[in-house]
A and B are shown apart, each in its own frame.
Chain A
Amino acid sequence: MATGIKDKVAILGMGCSKFGERWDTGSDALMLEAFTEALGDAGIEKSEIGAAWFGSALDRINVGNSAIPLSTALRLEGIPVTRVENMCATGTEALRGAAYAVAAGVVDIALAIGVEKLKDTGYGGLPVMTKGTFNDLWMPYGSAPAGFAQLAAGYRARYGISKDDLKRSIGRVSWKSHQNGAKNPKAHLRKAVDMDTILNAPMIAEPLGVFDCCGVSDGAACAIVTTPEIARALGKHELVTIKAIQLSASAGREQGTGEWDGSYVQNTRNAAKAAYSEAGIKNPRRELSALEVHDCFSITELVTMEDLGVSEDGNAWRDVLDGVFDADGEIPCQIDGGLKCFGHPVGASGLRMVYEHYLQLNGRAGARQLKAPKLGLSHNLGGVPYNGVCAISIVGAEGA
């Protein structure tokens, strides 16, 4: 009988590069920046790392496929290095691989690192991607915001919400993240914006305007994990441990049957249920201290609040307007600025979210430090709401 990952793996150290338009920095240097911080934080030598998992999603504009770009960038000689890719859930996939290796007892210390270099495309937004020889014959190309904008149409239709009310609520999602991002020195977008600016921004994919879309950034994030016993032996106290890592991938039902009404993301519901079970969480709204969710677009964050069970179905849009997820709200969300303002270097984002929880749990979050956090949840969505993957990880104080 599987017992899950809870408290079997401790985070020994973490690092995160500055996110943003890093015109003068390549992927290898971004990885080194995150890794150097993590290694210093862990207080170990590079040679003590037994295996590494490397996440990068878009290899054509990044460092290419395989594990070699990582082993070369960090000069990881003679250890197993694995590249993982699961769209925007890639960073969490890397952490999952490293954590499982430690939990399985095959290595003492493992490295998870994610990187993306999105600003080598020559234009804003994510690169245009084809979808494989068969899908290209029938599936419409559509931008990432167009995929997630389907949620707005579905949510509005299901709950009978006016276009204006929904626009105001998703605008408030972005407003809050800009407030938070302004306090984060590593964030890509560090400027608070007013609601009028958000609501009147140029349209990208109706009803999503420019400010409903996250930053497209360069960046890397990194975690070094080990067992709690080894962490203590290395002199670490008040450990941050992994409580759950769960994943769910679409099998075609949302996109290919009439079941899905467009108002939620089934993969999030699947992964959340499994993660809460693994972490032993009964009441997420009360038990979770902070959320880092996949706010690739404002509407995504809104429905995710319902999918994670922190808002009642049909009520997230009101909770948002009531400030429930603000920095001083009942359950702060995107305290680091989120994808919206910290930025979204695809392969790094899952690890960046855990990094923020790790800082908060260690009391090292500076101007945005929350009061006595115990459990933080990270949530990634890859692909589109009707055909994608969701990864959820929960970290917290050991024993919490």
Chain B
Amino acid sequence: MPNPSGIGIKSFGAYVPPRRFSRKLIAEANRWAFPSPKSSPKGERSVCAWDEDVITMAVEAGRDCLRDADRDAVRGLTVASTSAPYADLSGAAIVAAALRLPRAARSREMSGSTRAGLSALIDSCAMAGAGDQLIVASEQRIAKPGSAQELQYGCAAAALLIGQGEDLVARFLGSETVSQPFFDHFRQSGSDFDYQWEDRWIRDEGVLKFVPETLAILSKRLGFEASEIAYFGHCGGSRGADALVARRLGIEPERVLPNLQDRVGDTGAAHPLLMLASALERAKPGDKIVIVSFAHGCEIVVFEKGDISGSGTRRGVEQSIANRIEETAYLKLLSFDRQVDLDWGMRAEVDNKTALTQLYRTADQSLGFVGGRCSACEAVQFPSLPTCVNCGAADTQRPYPLADEPAQIATFTADWLQYSPAPPLYMGLIQFDCGARILMEIVDVGPTGIDVGTPLKASFRIKERDRLRGFARYFWKASPAIAG
């Protein structure tokens, strides 16, 4: 597509779930069955906790992107993923509610291929004339135990705010797409796992042919040479394909963006946006950034870094990666991914049926984490009920968003009795600086632990799963306020 002037990235954000499994640990757990590879696989991959999925990660990346942005100006939201939890329930509608986007903002999903992330970006650039577009690509990649993908895949989300204006983080220069019935992997609807073809074929017949072909069309149209590319990021295809294709294109290794394979893993549809965000964290004004998404052909975008960098409080890619909790039990990975069903005992048998009528009535509270401030006594509170918790006045509650309010622990415990898929369940009374006091679950407690006074931030999570009906309740939990 052409390169309309003044359209580009106004802000960006990222979320990598903090849990990491070393590939060595995964390989060791399966070595009884698969003695090769002889050398231990390197690096680590990110994994969703039991209470994270495409929707929760999309919310977290979206929040990061919208930190200092005008969310009321957002006219569209696209959530791109191949691993969305629902076949027919708009995850984007949940994300929009959690991000408190305007009701009139159009929300939609894009799926069908790991190309969905970059495709959504290209579409959004085309639509940016109609107002700001938020795109979030989010992927929870689950692989069969013992497979190569189990080592290779990761989980993450990245978000971009696309709009029109003079002050941009990066200007959209253009894009090109080549579509081919080249199926390096596939996953049937309803299946849990990808089916993968041979690496060497993917590399030689796919990546090394489609990427140069597509880039040639694009660079010719836009009038730039490969030597002008400051950052080149390649996603998809076989492992190591990025370095190989860069060499073929004459792009020096130092201009090839780190593919995050060593610290996150391949995050599918999210990866191109994650790589783009990573490039934006490194680039200086005027740098040309090329991002390639190889899947069923190839799609390429070119951006030019603008003069502004966006929010100074952004977590971004590097800080997300730095915020890590190392996991050491392989069975926990399988349990979090629901590949083994541990016997959690009768306490896990509680019926978590959600009243959808109730959910809708109070969606601003449970999804948006909007409490109330009493117009009579100014007390901020959650939940927001018909009468004020402090002064008792009726009908005085005014909406008060709490998701970004700083908080700390007032009281807490680690509950080993209550069923939790990740025991112990930390819960306690959380005191917000604005005065609100809320009983909340506390998650992502690292090895340093928590105590009264530990600073916390809110994280959008799955509260409970209704395993009988296949429905998840989402709400906000508190997590230690480290690294964004």
Chain A residues within 8 Å of B, Cβ to Cβ: 121-123, 125, 128-130, 133-134, 136-143, 145-146, 149-154, 156-157, 202-206, 208, 251-253, 255-258, 260-262, 386-387
Q: How many A-B residue pairs have CB under 8 A?
A: 150
Instruction: Name the CB-closest residue of A to B392.
Output: A251
When each residue 410-445 of chain B gets 1 if its CB lies under 8 Å from chain A and 0 otherwise, what string results?
111111111100001101110100011111110000
Question: Contact partner of A157 among B381, B416, B453, CB < 8 A?
Answer: B453
Given known A133-B355, A138-B366, contact A143–B417 (CB-CB < 8 A): yes
Q: Given the complex, which residues of A lie within 8 Å of B436, measured CB to CB?
A: 256
Say which one of B70-78, B224-232, B342-350 lies at the interface with A. Answer: B342-350
In the complex, the answer to whether B427 meets A137 with C-beta atoms within 8 Å is: no
Tell whether B390 is near chain A: CB-to-CB under 8 Å. yes
Q: Given the complex, which residues of B lie within 8 Å of A253, measured CB to CB?
A: 389-390
Q: Given the complex, which residues of A lie within 8 Å of B437, measured CB to CB?
A: 255-258, 260
In the complex, the answer to whether A257 meets B359 with C-beta atoms within 8 Å is: no
In the complex, the answer to whether B431 meets A143 with C-beta atoms within 8 Å is: no
In the complex, the answer to whether B358 meets A134 with C-beta atoms within 8 Å is: yes
Q: Report the Cα distance A145→B352, complex, angstroms.
A: 21
Instruction: Name the CB-closest residue of B to A259.
Output: B437
Instruction: Name the CB-closest residue of B to A256.
Output: B389
* 6 A-B pairs with the lowest CB-CB distances in the bound complex, closest first: A149-B413, A146-B415, A262-B411, A150-B411, A143-B417, A256-B389
Interface residues of B in 211-230 (CB under 8 A from A): none
Question: Contact partner of B362 among A137, A143, A386, A387, CB < 8 A?
Answer: A137
25 examples of A-B residue contacts, CB within 8 angstroms: A123-B346, A128-B418, A136-B473, A137-B359, A137-B365, A137-B366, A137-B475, A140-B441, A141-B350, A142-B413, A142-B415, A145-B417, A146-B417, A146-B418, A151-B411, A152-B413, A205-B417, A206-B424, A256-B390, A258-B435, A260-B410, A260-B437, A262-B411, A386-B429, A387-B439
Interface residues of B in 376-428 (CB under 8 A from A): 379, 381-383, 385, 389-390, 392, 409-419, 424-425, 427-428
Question: Contact partner of A146 among B359, B389, B390, B413, CB < 8 A?
Answer: B413
Instruction: Name the CB-closest residue of A to B381.
Output: A256
For the complex, count residues of B whose C-beta is within 8 A of A: 55
Shortest Cβ distance from B167 into chain A, in angstroms?
Answer: 39
Q: Report the Cα distance A87→B98, complex, angstroms.
A: 35
Q: Given the complex, which residues of A lie within 8 Å of B390, measured CB to CB?
A: 253, 256-257
Q: Report the Cα distance A113→B418, complex, angstroms.
A: 30
Q: Report the Cα distance A183→B102, complex, angstroms.
A: 68
Tell whether B354 is near chain A: CB-to-CB under 8 Å. yes
In the complex, the answer to whether B452 meets A157 with C-beta atoms within 8 Å is: yes
In the complex, the answer to whether A205 meets B362 with C-beta atoms within 8 Å is: no
Question: Contact partner of B354 among A125, A136, A139, A142, CB < 8 A?
Answer: A136
Q: Given the complex, which residues of B lie within 8 Å of A138, measured CB to CB?
A: 365-366, 382-383, 463, 475-476
Q: Given the complex, which residues of B lie within 8 Å of A157, measured CB to CB?
A: 411, 452-453
Q: Report the Cα distance A138→B352, complex, angstroms.
A: 12
Tell whether B198 is near chain A: CB-to-CB under 8 Å. no
Question: Contact partner of A140 among B346, B416, B440, B452, CB < 8 A?
Answer: B440
Question: Contact partner of A137 among B358, B409, B415, B453, CB < 8 A?
Answer: B358
Q: Given the complex, which residues of A lie within 8 Å of B413, measured CB to CB?
A: 142, 145-146, 149-150, 152-153, 205-206, 208
Given known A128-B419, A206-B413, contact A142–B425 (CB-CB < 8 A): yes
> Which of B349, B379, B415, B437 is most buried by chain A, counting CB atoms within 10 A of its CB?
B415
Shortest Cβ distance from A58 into chain B, in angstroms?
Answer: 14
In the complex, the answer to whether A256 meets B382 with C-beta atoms within 8 Å is: yes
Q: Given the complex, which residues of A lie within 8 Å of B439, measured CB to CB?
A: 139-140, 255, 386-387
Question: Contact partner of A205 among B351, B355, B416, B429, CB < 8 A?
Answer: B416
Instruction: Name the CB-closest residue of A to B367.
Output: A137
Instruction: Name the CB-closest residue of B to A261.
Output: B410
Q: Given the complex, which residues of A lie within 8 Å of B475, measured CB to CB?
A: 137-138
Q: Given the complex, which residues of A lie within 8 Å of B429, measured CB to CB?
A: 150, 255, 260, 262, 386
In the complex, the answer to whether B351 meets A130 with C-beta atoms within 8 Å is: yes
Instruction: Name the CB-closest residue of B to A153.
Output: B411
Shortest Cβ distance from B315 into chain A, in angstroms?
Answer: 25
> Which of A156, A258, A262, A387 is most buried by chain B, counting CB atoms within 10 A of its CB?
A258
Shortest Cβ distance from A81 into chain B, in angstroms?
Answer: 31
Q: Report the Cα distance A257→B436, complex, angstroms.
A: 6
In the complex, the answer to whether B346 meets A141 with C-beta atoms within 8 Å is: no
Tell whether B252 is near chain A: CB-to-CB under 8 Å. no
> Which of A122, A253, A257, A261 is most buried by chain B, counting CB atoms within 10 A of its CB?
A257
Q: Given the complex, which residues of B lie within 8 Å of A137, measured CB to CB?
A: 354, 358-359, 362, 365-366, 463, 473, 475
In the complex, the answer to whether A205 meets B415 with C-beta atoms within 8 Å is: yes
In the complex, the answer to whether B381 meets A150 with C-beta atoms within 8 Å is: no
In the complex, the answer to whether B346 meets A257 with C-beta atoms within 8 Å is: no
In the complex, the answer to whether B389 meets A252 with C-beta atoms within 8 Å is: yes
In the complex, the answer to whether B427 meets A142 with C-beta atoms within 8 Å is: yes
In the complex, the answer to whether A140 meets B425 with C-beta atoms within 8 Å is: yes
Instruction: Name the CB-closest residue of A to B417.
Output: A143
Tell whether B287 is near chain A: CB-to-CB under 8 Å. no
Question: Contact partner of A262 among B383, B410, B435, B441, CB < 8 A?
Answer: B410
Q: Report the Cα distance A136→B353, complex, angstroms.
A: 9
Instruction: Name the CB-closest residue of A to B432.
Output: A258
Q: Given the complex, which residues of A lie within 8 Å of B419, measured CB to CB?
A: 128, 141
Other CB < 8 Å A-B pairs besides A136-B352, A140-B463, A150-B413, 9 of them?
Answer: A128-B350, A137-B365, A138-B382, A140-B439, A146-B413, A150-B429, A205-B416, A206-B416, A262-B411
Instruction: Name the CB-closest residue of B to A157.
Output: B452
Q: Given the complex, which residues of A lie within 8 Å of B262, measured CB to CB?
A: none
Q: Given the complex, which residues of B lie within 8 Å of A387, measured CB to CB?
A: 439
Question: Contact partner of B379 among A122, A125, A130, A257, CB < 8 A?
Answer: A257
Q: Given the complex, which residues of A lie within 8 Å of B383, measured CB to CB?
A: 134, 138
Q: Report the Cα distance A151→B351, complex, angstroms.
A: 29
